[in-house]
Amino acid sequence: ERVRHPLALRRLTVSAVDPVAPCMVRVTLVGPELAGFTAPAPADHVKVFFPDPAGVLTVPTVTEDGISRPETGTIIARDYTPLEYRPDVDEVDIDFVLHGDDGPASAWATRAEPGMTLAIAGPRGSHLPPVGAGRAVVVADETALPAAARWLDALAPDVPVTALLSVADPDTARYLDEGPGRELRWFAGDGRDARLEAALRELDLDDGAFAFLAGEAGTIVPLRRYLRRELGLAKEQVDAHGYWKHGVVNLDHHAPLDPADPE
C-alpha cells in the first residue's frame, strides 16, 4: 500500500553526532519545523540539502503550485533514510556513510558538529510493509543499513527474517542486533558480494517470501534477476533499489534499476 504525504521543507539544527560503526556516523537533527513529520515505511527517504563549500545552504521553496527553485545559488541534495523520528522532542536521526571528501554529503557529515544547520524535504510517500509474508529476506550494504534496520523492526515478530549484509569492515556488524526470528549474516572483505549472492541462492524461498534489496546498483541487479526470473517470485514480492552506482554521481534511484529487464 502506498500512502502520500504533504510536501514540506524543514530547516533543522544538528544536536548530536555519534559514531555508530566504522565509517558511519549518526547525526541527530532537531527543530520545531519537524512537527508533523512522518516516515512510516522502512524504506522511506528524505531529500537532505547540504551547504555548498562556502557554507551557503540553498534550498527550494515549497509553494501551493509545487517546488520553486531559487534563481541564484547551488542546490546540493542527496536522499537518505531517516532512521528514527521522535515526535515528543522533535528530533530525527540520519546515518551517514563516510568516504572522505569524495561527495558533498560525506564531506559534510565528516565535519558535522552540534549547531550546524541543513534542511530536509519529504518523504513524499510511503510504501507500507507487505501483509501476510511467510518469511523475509533483507539484503543491504552500508548505505542501506538504516533501511535494513527499519525492515527488521517493521516486519511482524512471527515472520522469520534473514538479513544478508555486505560491508567493507567486519566491525560494522555492531550496527545491528539480532533478535528472535532475525538471522543476520555479514559478508566482509574481498569477494563479499559473490559470497552474499551464493548465500541468497542457498535460501529456501517459497511463494510466501518477500525480499528487500538495496545497495550498489550493479550488485543488486543480478540478485533481483535471480529472485524474479530464476526463482519466479512475483513483482510484489521483490522490492529492489540501487542506492548508488560505481562511477555515477548522485544516482537517480527512482529510475529503473535494470532497464534491460523491466518489470
Q: What is the pLDDT of residues 197-245, one digit of tens each?
A: 999 999 999 878 999 999 999 999 999 999 999 999 999 999 999 999 9
Quick one: pLDDT at residue 179?
A: 85
Mean pLDDT is lowest, of 18-22, 25-29, 70-74, 89-93, for: 70-74
Longest CA span, the chain: 55
Q: pLDDT tens digit string along 61-75?
A: 987 777 888 888 999
Quick one: pLDDT at residue 28?
A: 98
- Evaluate if residue 254 carries a pLDDT over 80: no
Q: pLDDT tens digit string along 154-184?
A: 999 999 999 999 999 999 999 998 888 999 9
The C-alpha cell 533483507 sits at: 138
Query: Cα–Cα distance between 42 and 127 in angstroms, integer?
Result: 8
Least Cα distance to 23 among 79, 114, 95, 116 occurs for 95
248 CB burial (10 A radius; 0-12, 13-18, 19+): exposed
Quick one: pLDDT at residue 95?
A: 98
Tell me the one-letter amino acid at 98: L
The residue count for the chain: 263
Beta-carbon contacts of residue 109 (< 8 Å; ≥ 6 apart)? 25, 27, 96, 98
Question: What dihedral angle (degrees, nearest 10) is formed by the CA atoms of 61, 66, 71, 74?
Answer: 70
The whole-model pTM stands at 0.93
The C-alpha cell 526470473 sits at: 229
Quick one: pLDDT at residue 51?
A: 95
Q: pLDDT tens digit string along 101-134?
A: 889 999 999 999 999 999 999 998 898 888 888 9
What phi and psi, each to the nearest 5 degrees, are found at residue 235? Answer: -55, -45
Full strand arrangement of the beta sheet holding 24-30: 76-80, 46-50, 117-121, 9-21, 24-30, 91-97, 82-86
User: What are the distances in angstroms from CA 3 to CA 82, 124, 208, 252?
Assistant: 17, 9, 24, 21
Query: Cα–Cα distance between 110 and 106 in angstroms, integer?
Result: 6
Quick one: pLDDT at residue 42?
A: 95
